[in-house]
């Protein structure tokens, strides 16, 4: 008779141990996924910061060009910073940043579809504005 009770106790103990093992395994998977997502977000943040430091990646340090006509060819000549494939001009707008008129070219990579803005400063636009202010 005690053998039956010992057997039942062992069965219950092994079932509890199995449940504890499964819960622990699930918790490890959840933790690993959470860490992978955090690492991915950190890598994306570092990539964005690196792209901002590339000339033209930030309105504070635009690429200087002599004429607006060379903005799009110049932008198209720059490869995608993520995969080094050719990128093409998506939109081309004029914006004012800190009192300076900048050309903002939104680029889209043909391979990885990464989008990023490129900022250009047209030297002739500044000269024209100075001439207008004098008149
Ligand atoms: Zn790309």
Query: How many A from CA of 88 to the centre of ligand 1?
Result: 10
Q: To the nearest whole number, what is the mean pLDDT of the chain? A: 91
The predicted structure's pLDDT at residue 1: 63
Per-residue pLDDT at 135 exceeds 60: no
Over range 66-73, report the average pLDDT: 94
Query: How many A from CA of 8 to the centre of ligand 1?
Result: 62
Query: How many A from CA of 33 to the centre of ligand 1?
Result: 26
Burial class (CB in 10 A: 0-12, 13-18, 19+), 34: exposed
Query: How many A from CA of 6 to the centre of ligand 1?
Result: 65
Could you give the CA distance from residue 2 to residue 8 in angstroms, rounded to a whole number? 10
Query: How many A from CA of 87 to the centre of ligand 1?
Result: 7
| Closest to 86 measured CA to CA, from 117, 108, 53 | 108
Query: How many A from CA of 108 to the centre of ligand 1?
Result: 8
The model carries a pTM of 0.70
User: C-alpha distances in angstroms, 131 versus 66, 108, 123?
Assistant: 16, 36, 13
The predicted structure's pLDDT at residue 125: 72
The predicted structure's pLDDT at residue 129: 62
Of 30 and 1, the structure prediction assigns the larger pLDDT to 30
What is the tens place of the pLDDT at every residue in 74-133?
999 999 999 999 999 999 999 999 999 999 999 999 999 999 999 999 998 766 666 666
Look at residue 33 and give its three-state secondary structure.
helix
The predicted structure's pLDDT at residue 124: 82
Q: In this structure, how many other beta carbons lie within 10 angstroms of the beta carbon of residue 47?
A: 13
Query: How many A from CA of 44 to the centre of ligand 1?
Result: 14
Q: Which residues pair with 93 in a beta bridge?
A: 104
Do residues 100 and 43 touch, judged by C-beta distance below 8 A? no
17 falls in which pLDDT band (50, 70, 90)?
very high
User: Which tokens in the block code for residue 45?
Assistant: 């943040």
Query: How many A from CA of 61 to the centre of ligand 1?
Result: 22
């Amino acid at each position: 008779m005690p053998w039956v009770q010992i057997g039942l106790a062992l069965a219950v103990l092994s079932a509890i141990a199995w449940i504890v093992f499964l819960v622990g395994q699930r918790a490890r998977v959840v933790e690993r996924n959470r860490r992978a997502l955090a690492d991915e977000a950190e890598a994306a943040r570092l990539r964005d910061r690196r792209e901002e430091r590339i000339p033209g990646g930030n309105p504070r340090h635009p690429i200087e060009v002599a004429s607006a006509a060379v903005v799009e060819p110049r932008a198209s000549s720059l490869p995608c910073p993520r995969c080094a494939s050719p990128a093409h001009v998506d939109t081309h707008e004029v914006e004012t940043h800190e009192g300076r008129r900048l050309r903002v070219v939104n680029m889209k990579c043909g391979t990885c579809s990464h989008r990023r803005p490129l900022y250009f400063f047209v030297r002739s636009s500044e000269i024209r504005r100075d001439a207008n202010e004098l008149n």
